């Protein structure tokens, strides 16, 4: 599965922001958002909401790269997110996301009928390579309900 294409097809808002992927790997993803004046805030850099969306999108790609094979039996959902804005960003921004859980343990919980929760950490860097924000997204895999017969 082409995770980047799947995610951008599934999330029109990410396409609206011109988010693209530099890489998607095993539990990791790097996403990029170009500098656009219509996405700027009052201090001339990328709007906080646009940076949040970039980081959340990268976290989703990292999550999917680890658990795409589970989509037939569970729905991935972002459960919570916390972002820390550290410095004003300038220019293009890049979000690097990394799964913070052992995928085998998450799948084992799903196998036990549990609804696993796990974090994906994301660093947001500006065009100069300065870390301007950090985001942690807590994801869950919600098991599909068995089909009921009528």
User: Does some domain include residue 34?
Assistant: yes
Supply φ then ψ for residue 22, to 5 degrees.
Answer: -85, -35
User: Does some domain include residue 149?
Assistant: no
Q: What is the pLDDT along the chain (150 residues), one digit of tens a residue?
A: 899 999 999 999 999 999 999 999 999 999 999 999 999 999 999 999 999 999 999 999 999 999 999 999 999 999 999 999 999 999 999 999 999 999 999 999 999 999 999 999 999 999 999 999 999 999 999 999 876 655
Q: What's the rounded Cα separation, in Å, for the pair 88 and 142? A: 36
What torsion, rounded to 10 degrees, do the Cα atoms 31, 36, 42, 48 define? -20
User: Does some domain include residue 150?
Assistant: no
Q: What is the pLDDT of residue 149?
A: 59
User: Does some domain include residue 78?
Assistant: yes
**Exposed, middle or buried by CB within 10 Å (0-12, 13-18, 19+), for 15?**
middle
Q: Give the three-class secondary structure for 94.
A: strand
- Quick one: how far is CA 144 from the chain centroid? 21
Supply the range of the domain harboring residue 86: 3-143
Contacts of 64 (CB under 8 A, 6+ apart): 3, 6, 7, 24, 76
CATH number at residue 31: 3.10.129.10
- Whats the size of the chain, residue-wise? 150
Report CA-CA distances (Å) from 14 to 100, 113, 124. 23, 32, 16
Q: How far apart are the first and last CA of the chain?
A: 35
Q: What's the rounded Cα separation, in Å, for the pair 137 and 69? A: 20
User: Does some domain include residue 148?
Assistant: no
């Amino acid at each position: 599965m082409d995770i980047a294409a799947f995610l951008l097809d599934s999330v029109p808002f990410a396409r609206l922001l011109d988010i693209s992927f530099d890489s998607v790997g095993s539990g990791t993803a790097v996403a990029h958002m170009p500098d656009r004046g219509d996405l700027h805030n009052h201090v001339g850099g990328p709007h906080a909401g646009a940076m949040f969306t970039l980081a959340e999108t990268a976290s989703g790609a990292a999550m999917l790269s680890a658990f795409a094979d589970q989509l037939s039996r569970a729905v991935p959902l972002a459960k919570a997110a916390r972002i820390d804005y550290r410095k004003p960003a300038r220019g293009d921004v890049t979000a690097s996301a990394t799964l913070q859980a052992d995928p085998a343990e998450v799948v084992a919980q799903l196998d036990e009928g549990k609804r696993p929760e796990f974090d994906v950490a994301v660093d947001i860097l500006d065009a100069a390579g300065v870390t301007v924000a950090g985001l942690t997204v807590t994801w869950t895999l919600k098991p599909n309900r068995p089909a009921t017969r009528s």
